[in-house]
């Protein structure tokens, strides 16, 4: 992570490790990430923030409306099972760091004003943490969950993995045959497509206590 950006997160109490940072911002559990090194970014939106919180569907819809109205430039937001993800860019890291406090204040303000529960609550079930808080790794992010939610999610993951293992081989072969039989121009995209499939499968098994 760029030194200026790392210093920004460290000054606000986040723990920085490599291209990731973790901690609490605006009362919410936050994972920050930079995709790539220097200007050799592997994405045109290399700066990432994920805010963990619980909110109802209606609250999320209200948040979405306000985020759209906020008009944050070079910032793409999307909800996840665990909260809100923001992907951002700018012309230079310096310009991005200058804008970052405003982005964080805007997003955490919208989340809070619309009832998003803060870091003291499980982002999956909304229950307050007591002695049942467990820190998990989800898609490379550190996210605290209720222990009961961890058990339920792991059960779902196990069931999905077993279902995948039971899928007949001829189904996969047929899919591969159809893909290979497609237009030649699509061949260059095939490795990326399969990479996405296996990355998604790996994400399923990455939830660990």
Print pLDDT tens along the chain (209 aa): 899 999 999 999 999 999 999 999 999 999 999 987 555 444 588 999 999 999 999 999 999 999 999 999 999 999 999 999 999 998 889 999 999 999 999 999 999 999 999 999 999 999 999 888 999 888 889 999 998 888 888 777 777 777 777 766 655 555 555 554 444 443 443 333 333 334 444 444 344 44
Half-sphere exposure of 21 (CA within 13 A, CB side): 23
Strand partners, 208: 137
Tell me phi and psi for residue 175, to 5 degrees. -65, -45
**pLDDT score, position 173:** 53
For every residue of 53-73, DSSP letters joined together read: -B--HHHHHHHHHHHHHHT-T
What is the reported pLDDT for 163? 75
The angle formed by the CA atoms of residues 40, 35 and 110, to the nearest 5 degrees, is 135
The secondary structure of the chain in percent helix, strand, coil, rounded to multiples of 5, reads 45, 25, 25
Beta-carbon count within 10 A of 133 CB: 13
The residue behind tokens 């890291």 is 93
Count of beta carbons in the 10 Å neighbourhood of residue 80: 15
- The token pair at 166 is 């039971």
Strands (E), the chain: 15-17, 20-25, 28-34, 36-37, 40-41, 47-52, 75-80, 83-88, 133-138, 141-146
């Amino acid at each position: 992570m760029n030194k200026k950006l790392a210093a920004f997160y460290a000054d606000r109490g986040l723990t920085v490790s490599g291209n990731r940072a973790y901690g609490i911002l605006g009362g919410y559990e936050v994972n920050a990430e930079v995709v790539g090194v220097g200007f050799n970014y592997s994405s045109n939106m290399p700066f990432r923030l994920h805010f963990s919180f619980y909110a109802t569907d209606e609250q999320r819809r209200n948040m979405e409306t306000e985020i759209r109205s906020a008009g944050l430039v070079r910032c793409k937001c999307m909800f996840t099972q665990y909260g809100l993800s923001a992907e951002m860019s700018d012309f230079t890291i310096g310009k991005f760091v200058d804008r970052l406090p405003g982005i964080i204040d805007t997003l955490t303000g919208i989340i809070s004003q619309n009832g998003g529960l803060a870091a003291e609550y499980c982002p999956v079930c909304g229950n307050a943490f007591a002695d049942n808080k467990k820190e998990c790794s989800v898609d490379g992010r550190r996210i605290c969950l209720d222990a009961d939610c961890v058990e339920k999610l792991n059960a779902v993951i196990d069931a999905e993995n077993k279902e995948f293992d039971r899928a007949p081989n001829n189904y996969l072969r047929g899919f591969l045959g159809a893909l290979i039989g497609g237009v030649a121009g699509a061949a260059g995209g095939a490795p990326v497509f399969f990479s996405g499939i296996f990355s998604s499968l790996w994400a399923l098994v990455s939830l660990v206590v």
